[in-house]
Structure 1
Amino acid sequence: MSRYEKGHKADTHRRVVEIAAQRFRAEGIDSVGVASLMADAGLTHGGFYAHFPSKEALVKEALIAAIGSSFAYDNEAEATAPLNLRAFIDFYLSPAHRDKPATGCAVATLGAETTRRPRATRNAFNKEAQRFVARIASGLPEEASPEHKLAKAYGVFAQLVGSLQLSRIVTDKTLSDEVLAVGRSNALQLAGLDQGEETKAKPAKRTAKKH
């Protein structure tokens, strides 16, 4: 008879993936060792292989989880409704997102590093990134064709990622805040949501995940 309740292994697996997703974003993939990850999860190093065949397998799962955490919904209806793109842009290019890379967008923190991973990992990351872009496209004005909306969504996403990365590179906080403000304005203009108004950062509602 098992000493653990049903679902214990799945819960443990999920916890390791979530911890890895945060630490990879905060520290970089190659800077995080398996032993320290397992210690963070309250497990032994030897227990790692009961859940993952290799560190790369964990990296792949963690990257998928990290991108998915960019959209957290309170209910299924909210998840299938068109994205409130204005609110999302305001959150994405906010000081709160800039200052918490461990729980932020994985494309901004790990995109460049992922290009050096094995193809299977890159393919998984690419698939999730494309879903991210499609979600952005869902919040664009309806008058555009699906093809045009998708192309525009890539432009908006590139503006968001680049602005966030630059805001983290800049060491002067005032200038960093200005980079975010300009990025928000440009992203809204690309999305056709600017309406000539100055945008103020009002973070979109997100559901905090428990670890």
Structure 2
Amino acid sequence: MRYDEDHKSRTRKKIVKMASRQIRAKGLVGPAVPALMKASGLTHGGFYKHFASRDNLIVEAVEESFQELTDIFIKAATASGEGWRGIVNTYLSLERCDRIDTGCPIAALAPELARAKSNIKNRSVLAIIKFRQDVLPLMPGKSASEKEKNFFIIMSSMAGAVIVARTIPDQKVREGILNSVRDFLLDSFRSF
């Protein structure tokens, strides 16, 4: 069967998107190549037509997950008309917390990325830096340095809240954790 020019590119993007969800759900070492390909509706035999190694796919999947988060943040900030407040409200929702596969890669993967092989860690750091640069203009603050400081405070607080909330089986308690951190952040940066 002959495919059009974009077929390989579309297939690769589909594999990367599904892999980004699989690694957020199961961790960097969790899903094997056959499982990653199966999640994309493909057989594992075609893997090497698209990627030189599993590590290459993992890195692209991490990059994809940070791009998805950037897109979510930009949409939340602009659609709500509330800027960074829209980001906080969106991120700290129970629905986002409970969907680890589509949630924040920082909350899902940070400890593993810190211990990952250098090739995965180095490219992941670049994805995190790009994420920060893209989101920084949306943060509260009057200067670039103030926005950067607030980015780290807000992002660390939100990711930490999600990590802790995910360990609690009781939905009401999880929601209480998320609401407490959300309210604290919104109140702490009220002047912006």
Aligned position for 1:49: 48
Supply the RMSD in Å over aligned alpha carbons: 2.5
What does the per-residue CA deviation read over 1:36-79, in whole Å, with 9 as the maximum and x for residues that have no partner?
A: 22123232222111111110000000000011101337x99x98
Instruction: Pick the structure with more helix per residue.
Output: 2
Aligned position for 2:147: 149
Larger mean Cα displacement after TM superposition, 62-71 or 131-140: 131-140
Larger mean Cα displacement after TM superposition, 117-126 or 102-111: 117-126
Whether the 8 Å CA contact 2:97–2:162 is kept in 1: the answer is yes
Alignment match of 1:164 (pick from 153, 162, 165): 162
Aligned position for 1:62: 61
Aligned position for 2:186: 188
Aligned position for 2:176: 178
- After TM superposition, give the deviation of residue 20 of structure 1 in Å: 0.3
Q: Give the counterpart letter for 1:62 in structure 2.
A: A
Q: Structure 1 172/194 Cα, relative in aligned 2: closer, same or farther at 3 Å?
A: farther
Q: Give the counterpart letter for 2:13 in structure 1.
A: R
CA distance in 2, matches of 1:137, 1:11: 30
Q: Which residues of structure 2 form unaligned runs of 5+?
A: none
Aligned position for 1:202: none
- After TM superposition, give the deviation of residue 132 of structure 1 in Å: 2.8
TM, length-normalised to structure 2:
0.88
Q: Structure 1 103/194 Cα, relative in aligned 2: closer, same or farther at 3 Å?
A: farther
Aligned position for 2:39: 40
Aligned position for 1:100: 99
Matched residue pairs, number?
A: 188
- 1:8 is the counterpart of 2:3: no
Q: Give the counterpart letter for 2:153 in structure 1.
A: G
Counterparts in 2 of 1:191-206, with a 5 A limit? 192-193=189-190
Secondary structure of the corresponding residue to residue 72 of structure 1? helix
- After TM superposition, give the deviation of residue 83 of structure 1 in Å: 8.1
